[in-house]
Amino acid sequence: MSKIRLLFFATLRDRAGTKTAEMEVPAGTTVRQLKERLAQEYPALGPSLPSALIAVNREYAAEDLVLPADADVALFPPVSGG
């Protein structure tokens, strides 16, 4: 198990009801698996997670990225505009 720090931004912060949280995840957890777990633990986030942007240690991350121990994981809603 490794501990990660979650950072919620904009509307995701409102839906999660918190700005930050810590979570223990099994070694080998991917971004996709984290999103699935977040949907269970924070049901209000569920509809937003498929399109949420995830950054791990300040770099945008693909769904198959394995989370490193002690990672900072930032969640951003999709950005639109012109």
**CATH number of the CATH domain containing 44:** 3.10.20.30
| Per-residue pLDDT tens over the stretch 6-60 | 999 999 999 999 999 999 999 999 999 999 999 999 999 999 999 999 999 999 9
Is 82 a residue whose pLDDT tops 60? no
In a domain, 81, yes or no: no
Burial (CB count within 10 angstroms: exposed 0-12, middle 13-18, buried 19+), residue 23: middle
Number of neighbours of residue 53 by Cβ within 10 angstroms: 14
Q: Which residues pair with 53 in a beta bridge?
A: 76
| Per-residue pLDDT tens over the stretch 60-81 | 999 999 999 999 999 999 876 5
> Whole-prediction pTM value?
0.92
Sheet holding 2-8, edge to edge: 20-25, 2-8, 72-76, 53-56, 59-60
Domain that holds residue 13: 2-76
SS (H, E, C) 6-31: EEECCHHHHHHCCCEEEEEECCCCEH
For the chain, how many structural domains are there in total? 1
